[in-house]
A and B are shown apart, each in its own frame.
Chain A
Amino acid sequence: MNFEAQPIINLDRCTKCGLCVSGCPENALEMTDQGPKLRQPSICTYCTDCEALCPTGAIRTPLTVTWGSNYLS
């Protein structure tokens, strides 16, 4: 399965400071009345910059570690 992960935004923690929106190198986020949301998910490269910029931990880009196919039986 090639699941394309997207940043996970927890609006309960978001202060709408806008740092993630202005800092996204792909301009993939937009600010709405509720808080930031992905404008167009396909533009997001999952660079994880928004997570690094968010001062409240409201936006997360978690990683998963796995063996390469040569090690999977």
Chain B
Amino acid sequence: MDSQSLISLEFFATLNPGTFNALAGRAFQREIHTGYNLVIEGMSAEACYFVLSGQLRVSRMNRDGRIQILARLGAGEPVNVISLLKEDRINHASVESLTDSTVLVLLANDFDDFLSQYPDFSTALLRNLAKRMAKTTSLAANLSLYTVRSRLAQFLIDLAERPQYAGGWTQDEIAAHIGTVRDVVGRLLREFESQGLIERDRQRIILLDYEALMSEAQNYDV
């Protein structure tokens, strides 16, 4: 990826030219194929990454052995930063590529140098972490306030409005995102379909009635 395309990505756009050039000189590009495990939870953290293209899935294993999907990351997003910031430097979560992807790799030692030498790099990371934390907080609020049915309606609308994230969701992943289990997602999708809110066509979930889905999405758990 050339510097011009790199600088158009959100994270890099905020860096000073000097920091940007130093990063471009130190980090290296790596192509990974669909299904590749870039980071394995519990292993020693060796690097952080920046997604240049494609999509990665961040997940953690629950105590009962179930996989919980934490996030999906696309172009411009930093990956595995928390693991490098933790004292034990153990990977906090696993990261798998959902599509053929390209990442920029910054090794742990270089990451430390950047943190201490380039304040704008640290600020950009802090902003990104704050953005993700805000997302997690609103997810937690949604889980406690809304019914599963309304969370699913909201989730479907969100995905349809962000086409770059709208594909590649299994029902387990949808369930993990809205805090339920696969069977419930399957049952609710069938209910939405029988009520004419959505239509299923093989891999496609087609949203047919925005107003009705919106009103479902606003149902509080009272």
Contact = CB atoms under 8 A, between A and B. Distances in A.
Interface stretch (B7-15, B41-49, B104-112, B167-175): B167-175
A67 to B, nearest CB: 5
Contact of A52 (B166, B174, B182): B182
B36 to A, nearest CB: 10
Size category of the binding interface on chain A: 20 to 34
Interface in A36-69: 45-46, 48, 51-52, 57, 60-68
A4 B202 CA distance: 7
B182 A64 contact: no
Nearest to A59: B170
Contacts of B133: none
B203 A46 contact: yes
Contacts of A48: 171, 186
Contacts of B67: 57
Nearest to B210: A71
B166 A66 contact: yes
Contact of B208 (A12, A45, A62, A68): A68
A67 B202 contact: no
Interface in B10-50: 35
Interface in B132-190: 156, 159-160, 163, 166-172, 174, 182, 186
A27 to B, nearest CB: 18
Given A5-B202, A67-B207, A62 B170 contact: yes
Interface of A: 3-5, 10, 12, 45-46, 48, 51-52, 57, 60-68, 70-71
Interface of B: 35, 67, 156, 159-160, 163, 166-172, 174, 182, 186, 199, 202-208, 210
